[in-house]
């Protein structure tokens, strides 16, 4: 092996907090948090340069298990809070995470606005097709026909398609992963963090307690179709949308879309405007003059 000139500053274990996860043993979220530690180590930013925001749900406990600034906030409100944090301190690396219920049910209305505003955030949804924390009710991504405690005769609704949803609203980076492929998942999350703008990662994260057999890691491993292996063009939004329609039927993993010419982020534009205004601003001691009639 070649000698690197600089040894990595942070290792995955530097991002593991002292809090012991209370997730059910075997929960897919254990794999997701490991992938996040690895991605953060590869990025190399210090824990105090990172803010991790979530809503409410089993998956939303994830900031507590990560060494960084953390905010386990209100159900469905992770994105507005994260946008506020990023605007207040644009130098922070801001991660947002939560469940499919948090992101596409109660919080679904925030997603399009976060996308069109295009702040430099990485949004990771742990899509287990169920409400885990409240013990197994129907969620927005539950497949039609699913029997749960709130759909005893089987759900009559079509699921939300998180990939198509975010692609259609114009997200610059959309990807999907599963803890069945840890190396692939860590890589996707790292790429999402590096993308300059709003990046969305849908993680098929199995709920071992309330989830279906065909949604577990073993089933994922058998069904997975890495996008790299089918020669998908990740610079084409149309090709990505075409593939994304297979959500729920085929498990495609990897980057669906990455804008080859990323648009300027909202935070960068705000900074630019602040600088332009600061140049024209009157000195502090003359501020009152603006309001005093001469």
Ligand X SMILES: Cc1ncc(C[n+]2csc(CCOP(=O)(O)OP(=O)(O)O)c2C)c(N)n1
Question: Is 241 one of the binding residues for another protein (CB under 8 A)?
Answer: no
Burial status of residue 83 (CB atoms within 10 A of its CB: 0-12, 13-18, 19 or more)? buried
d(CA 282, CA 59): 48
Question: Is 34 one of the binding residues for another protein (CB under 8 A)?
Answer: yes
- Given candidates 70, 107, 132, 184, which one binds another protein under the rule CB under 8 A? 184
Identify which of residues 209 and 236 has a Cβ nearer to ligand SF4 in the complex: 209
Alpha helices in 44-161 (DSSP H): 78-88, 100-101, 110-117
d(CA 287, CA 253): 56
Cβ–Cβ contacts within 10 Å for residue 152, how many?
7
Q: How many residues bind ligand SF4 (CB under 6 A)?
A: 12
Identify which of residues 127 and 190 has a Cβ nearer to ligand SF4 in the complex: 127
Please give the DSSP secondary-structure letter assigned to residue 151: B
- Given candidates 137, 151, 209, 236, which one binds ligand SF4 under the rule CB under 6 A? 209
| Strands laid side by side in the 93-99 sheet | 69-72, 50-54, 93-99, 121-127, 199-204, 173-177, 251-258, 224-226
Contact between 96 and 80 (Cβ < 8 Å): no
State the DSSP string of 271-293. Answer: HHHHHHHHHHPPPGGGGGGGTS-
Contact between 74 and 102 (Cβ < 8 Å): no
- Least separation in angstroms between residue 289's CB and another protein is 53
Question: Is 132 one of the binding residues for ligand SF4 (CB under 6 A)?
Answer: yes
- Least separation in angstroms between residue 74's CB and ligand X is 7
Question: Is 137 one of the binding residues for ligand SF4 (CB under 6 A)?
Answer: no
Strand 224-226 and strand 199-204: the pairing is unpaired
Identify which of residues 161 and 204 has a Cβ nearer to another protein in the complex: 204
Identify which of residues 134 and 155 has a Cβ nearer to another protein in the complex: 134
Smallest Cα–Cα separation from 58: which of 33, 39, 41, 79?
A: 33
- Least separation in angstroms between residue 9's CB and ligand X is 32
Site of interaction with ligand X (CB under 6 A): 56-59, 75, 98-102, 106, 126, 128, 130-134, 139
d(CA 279, CA 124): 38
Question: Is 124 one of the binding residues for ligand SF4 (CB under 6 A)?
Answer: no
Identify which of residues 102 and 120 has a Cβ nearer to ligand X in the complex: 102
Identify which of residues 132 and 162 has a Cβ nearer to ligand X in the complex: 132
- Given candidates 23, 65, 165, 247, which one binds ligand SF4 under the rule CB under 6 A? 23
Q: Which residues bind another protein (CB under 8 A)?
A: 1, 3-4, 7-8, 11-13, 20-28, 30-31, 34, 38, 41-42, 56, 133-135, 179-184, 186, 206, 208-209, 216-217, 221
Q: Which residues bind ligand SF4 (CB under 6 A)?
A: 23-24, 27, 29, 58, 128, 132-133, 207-210
């Amino acid at each position: 092996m070649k000698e690197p000139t600089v040894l990595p500053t942070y290792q995955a274990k530097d991002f593991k907090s002292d809090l012991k996860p209370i997730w059910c043993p075997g929960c897919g979220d254990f794999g997701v948090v490991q992938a996040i530690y690895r991605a953060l180590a590869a990025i190399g930013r210090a824990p105090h340069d990172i803010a991790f925001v979530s809503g409410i749900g089993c998956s939303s406990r994830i900031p507590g298990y990560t060494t960084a600034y953390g905010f386990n906030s209100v159900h469905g409100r992770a994105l507005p809070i994260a946008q506020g944090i990023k605007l207040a301190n644009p130098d922070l690396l801001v991660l947002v995470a939560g469940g499919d219920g948090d992101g596409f049910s109660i919080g679904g209305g925030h997603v399009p606005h976060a996308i069109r505003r295009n702040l430099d955030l990485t949004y990771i949804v742990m899509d287990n097709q169920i409400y885990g924390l409240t013990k197994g009710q129907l969620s927005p991504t539950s497949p039609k026909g699913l029997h749960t405690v709130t759909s005893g005769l089987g759900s009559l609704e079509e699921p939300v398609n998180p990939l198509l949803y975010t692609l259609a609203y114009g997200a610059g980076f959309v990807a999907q992963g599963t803890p069945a492929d840890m190396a692939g998942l860590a890589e996707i999350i790292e790429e999402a963090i590096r993308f300059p703008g709003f990046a969305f990662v849908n993680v098929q994260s199995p709920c071992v307690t309330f989830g279906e057999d065909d949604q577990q890691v073993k089933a994922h491993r058998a069904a997975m179709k890495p996008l790299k292996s089918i020669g998908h063009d990740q610079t084409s939004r149309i090709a990505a949308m075409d593939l994304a329609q297979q959500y729920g039927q085929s498990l495609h993993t990897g980057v669906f879309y990455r804008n080859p010419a990323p648009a300027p982020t909202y935070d960068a534009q705000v900074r630019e405007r602040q600088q332009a205004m600061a140049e024209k601003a009157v000195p502090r001691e003359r501020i009152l003059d603006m309001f005093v009639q001469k």
